[in-house]
Structure 1
Amino acid sequence: MLNKRTTEVYALGQHISMSDHKARRVIDQIRGRSYKETLMILELMPYRACYPIFKLVYSAAANASSNMGSNEANLVISKAEVNKIR
């Protein structure tokens, strides 16, 4: 049995002006999916919230590639959440 090394890389989007309900509708579709599958879903979904989330996922993948030397094919969206600002 191979022991895979797991590291977390994250990107944080702040001050994105959209409803938390609209963003959560998109986030729920990508949680737990691979990076490539996530990009495909975000490109094909007709919601306005997809573009800022796409940029955020792309940024996290770029951080993983440059800082950790990770291959994008091995990346998985393990955690994604939307918080409402009061």
Structure 2
Amino acid sequence: MATESKEEVMEAKASARHVRVSPQKARRVVDLIRGKAATDAVTVLTFAPQSASEPVKKVLESAIANARVKADRESVAFDERNLVITAAFVDEGPTMKRFRPRAQGRAGRINKRTSHITVVVAQPENTKGAR
């Protein structure tokens, strides 16, 4: 019986890998939207001043689209307004190492960091049959 209730929760995931923004900066933006309704989170990201909000918004919109496709495939009623961000996290990607000349023949290393951004949206069970 526990497996039946698990299957009822529709969950969709999207991720962007090797995004050229540092994970620290991307996490500041992801923390703004975690746990919110998906439509509210898109609005927040649209007007957020951080440059990392654009790739995070793209990933969120992709997760919403993935949920729509998944609902169509399973012939389940879909309402974008019921989606909630259940998980959103940023992992560190590979770092590109670059060198810049410094004084007296030395070289200073510059780390160009990348991020792996992942967003999971789900339709909670209690709002599923409400509409």
Compute the TM-score of the two structures, normalised by the length of structure 2. Answer: 0.60
Partners of 1:44 and 1:30 in 2: CA distance: 12
Structure 2: 5+ residue stretches without partners: 73-77, 95-131
Partners of 1:85 and 1:64 in 2: CA distance: 26
Are 1:8 and 2:11 an aligned pair? yes
- How far apart are residue 67 of structure 1 and its match? 2.0
Give the structure with the larger helix fraction: 1
**2:15, 2:59 within 8 Å by CA — same for their partners in 1?**
yes
Partners of 2:46 and 2:9 in 1: CA distance: 27
* Pairs within 5 Å for 1:9-28: 9-28=12-31
Partners of 2:80 and 2:51 in 1: CA distance: 25
Residue number in structure 1 paired with 2:82: 74
Candidates 31, 38, 43, aligned match of 1:40: 43
Give the structure with the larger strand fraction: 2
Count residues in correspondence: 83
Percent sequence identity is 36
Higher mean alpha-carbon deviation, 59-68 vs 18-27, is at 59-68
Residue number in structure 1 paired with 2:32: 29
Structure 1: 5+ residue stretches without partners: none
C-alpha RMSD over aligned residues? 1.3
Compute the TM-score of the two structures, normalised by the length of structure 1. Answer: 0.89
State the structure with more CA Rg.
Answer: 2
